[in-house]
Every structure is written in C-alpha cells, then in structure tokens.
Amino acid sequence: MKLRHCIIAAMALTIGGKTAQAIPYAPEFMETEQTNGSVEYIKFGNFDQWLVRNIKESAIIGGNTKTLYAVAPNATWNNNNVYSGLGGSPWATSNVLAKVAGVVKTNTSVYREARAGHGYCAKLLTHVEQVKVMGLVNIKVMAAGSLFLGKMMEPITGTKNPMSKMDSGIKFGRRPTALCFDYKVQLSGQSNRVKQTGFSKVSTVQGMDMADCVLYLQKRWEDADGNILAKRVGTMVQRFSRNTGWVNNAKFTIHYGDITKQSFFKSYMDLTTGDFVKYAKNSKGKLVKIQEVGWADANETPTHIVLAFNSSHGGAYIGSEGNTLWVDNVRLCY
C-alpha cells in the first residue's frame, strides 16, 4: 500500500522598472514599470526562465529519468533534490517529487514551451498518469496542471487532501484593478469529466472540463491557536470554456468587497469551502487551512494575494484528458 500511496501522491497535485508607488508587502516579488497607467509584472511571470530537474525514479517502478520544470532562474539539476523556491521566484507548480518508504515517483503536468517571438511560456496539461510495477500494479490517475503563487511542500509523502501540500499565496498589499496576461486554450472536447483516483473505479462527473484562473486578495490574520483567518478583499475567477489561439494582453477585472449580489456573480466565486479551501504556513511553520470568514469592505487593503492557473477546474483527480492552458506575461494592472 505504501508504494501505491507514493505513486498517487506524485500524481494527485493537479494540482526593473521604475516604481509607480510604494508597495507595502514583498516588493521583491514584483517588477514594476510605468506605462499609460501602472503595470506590475510578477517576478518571473514572463516565463522565460526555468529550472530543469532531471529526476531518476525508483527501479521498482521502472527507474526512468523524468524531467520536472520549475519557474526559476535558468539552471539544470541532475539529482533528486527537493525544490522549495529558487532565486526569489514566487511561483510553484503541480510538478512534484514524491518519496514514500524510499520509493521515488514524479508527476509532470506543467511544461516549458517555446513561443514564437516571445521566448517561452508555461503549458498546463491535464493527463492520465499511468504506472506499472513489474507487471503487478497498474495505476491510472487523472492529473491536472496547476501554476500558482506559493510553494509546494516537497517531497510529497501522502495522498490525502492535495490542497494541504500547497502553501498558497504571497504577501501583497496593493489594490490592482485587473489581472492581465496572454493565454491560449485547447479543451478536450468531451461533454463530461472523469474522476480517476487510482484507488476506485473511474466515474463520470457531469459538465464540461474548463481551464481556469483564480485570483483572491485576502486580509489575513492568525489567532492564538495558530489558525489563519481571512476576509476576501478582491475576487477574479475566470473559466475558459472554448478553444482560442493566443489572446494577448487579456484583462480581467478584480472586483472588491462582497460580490454575491452582483449580476456577474457565480457560485464558484464565493468564499472557499470544502475541497477548494487553500492552505498556508502559520507563524509556527505549520500548514493550516486559510479560513475565509467573510467579505471585507470594498475599500479594504489586502495582506496577501492568491493566484492560480489550472488546466482543469474541478479539483484533484477530476478533469478531461487533453485539456490544455498556455499562459504568458502575467502582470497586475492599476
């Protein structure tokens, strides 16, 4: 069972310019330039720099060398070292190294891809990861690509609650009007999705799979017991329901305050609950739930930004094989 857990753990996370004004929190994560208004590029958000990790998996599952990509200063690692950020990069991905009972397994669902005339971009892919062990074990898991601000807690050592392996969000104290980026979408074409965990039978999940982008601005605090509480300051959730070529300079408005009565509001924009609750490290270094307890006033200033791009929108183990989202040039507009 430990071997099965290792394999699933690696698949489950489908998981300089001139400053326009002072940034209260974590300016090292931003690269600000003045245009007609103000634009802040999130550091490494042009996706032209990548760490390439060549990892040798355990002999019992084939002993192959697999490549994992991380958004970080250009480098190549030919070892099985864990990754937890490099060179000030605020980005993490669902590409993971898992190690349970000495068995090493990887999953790659985010790729570096050349983009004509634009250097590189990030490619996020939903795929079925399959592993056969000496002809005895044949496990298939649906794994989606995710690119997010925060850290992945490598090595992955268990399969339960994939969100709890991610330290989501970074410190941030400004009020952008929109998230801007370039993107391209290729959907699977399937009318329904699949839930495939590796432990149970494949099941059908109603509804077409969509890529998405999620941005939350939160005002967080910690209580005496180490719980992280938050109010939602700003919200932007965009689901991509059709195929596109490259769409450059797309701009998605961030809405402030309680948006539940607004005409554009959808249930998936609400405060996070259940399987979609994010986690973060508290002051004691423990990963705990970020408990969103309400909506902040519309004029409130956040303390943190949560940002994630996903090739599938339904959470861990759920998606349609082939769903693909390409992302480039991520920036905040004011």
Residue 330 pLDDT > 90, yes or no?
A: yes
**What is the Cα–Cα distance from 152 to 52, expressed in whole angstroms?**
16
The pLDDT, as a whole number, for residue 4 is: 52
The pLDDT, as a whole number, for residue 217 is: 98
Query: The pTM is what?
Result: 0.90
Q: Mean pLDDT over all residues of the chain?
A: 89
Q: Which two tokens stand for residue 328?
A: 């480039």
Kindly indicate the confidence band of residue 6, based on its pLDDT and cuts at 50, 70 and 90. low
Q: Tell me the per-residue pLDDT of 54-109, one tens digit each, with 9 for 90 and over.
A: 999 999 888 999 999 999 999 999 999 999 899 999 999 999 998 877 889 999 99
**What is the Cα–Cα distance from 176 to 206, expressed in whole angstroms?**
35
**What is the Cα–Cα distance from 303 to 293, expressed in whole angstroms?**
15
CB 207 within 8 A of CB 183: no
Q: Tell me the per-residue pLDDT of 182-207, one tens digit each, with 9 for 90 and over.
A: 999 999 999 999 999 877 789 999 99
Q: Residue 204: which region, alpha, beta or left (left: phi > 0; alpha: psi -120 to 50)?
A: beta
The pLDDT, as a whole number, for residue 308 is: 98
What mean pLDDT do residues 291-308 have? Answer: 98
Give the residue among 227, 235, 226, 219 at the shortest CA–CA distance from 172.
Answer: 219
The pLDDT, as a whole number, for residue 100 is: 74
Give the residue among 208, 214, 329, 200 at the shortest CA–CA distance from 268.
Answer: 214
What mean pLDDT do residues 130-140 have? Answer: 69
80-85 long-range CB contacts below 8 Å, 24 or more apart?
A: 80/55, 80/56, 80/104, 81/53, 82/154, 82/155, 83/51, 83/53, 83/152, 83/154, 84/151, 84/152, 84/153, 84/154, 85/151
CA distances for 50 relative to 7, 161, 183, 325, angstroms: 25, 28, 18, 18
**What is the Cα–Cα distance from 8 to 12, expressed in whole angstroms?**
6
**What is the Cα–Cα distance from 192 to 209, expressed in whole angstroms?**
7
In the three-class reduction of DSSP (H, G, I as helix; E, B as strand; rest coil), residue 48 is classed as coil
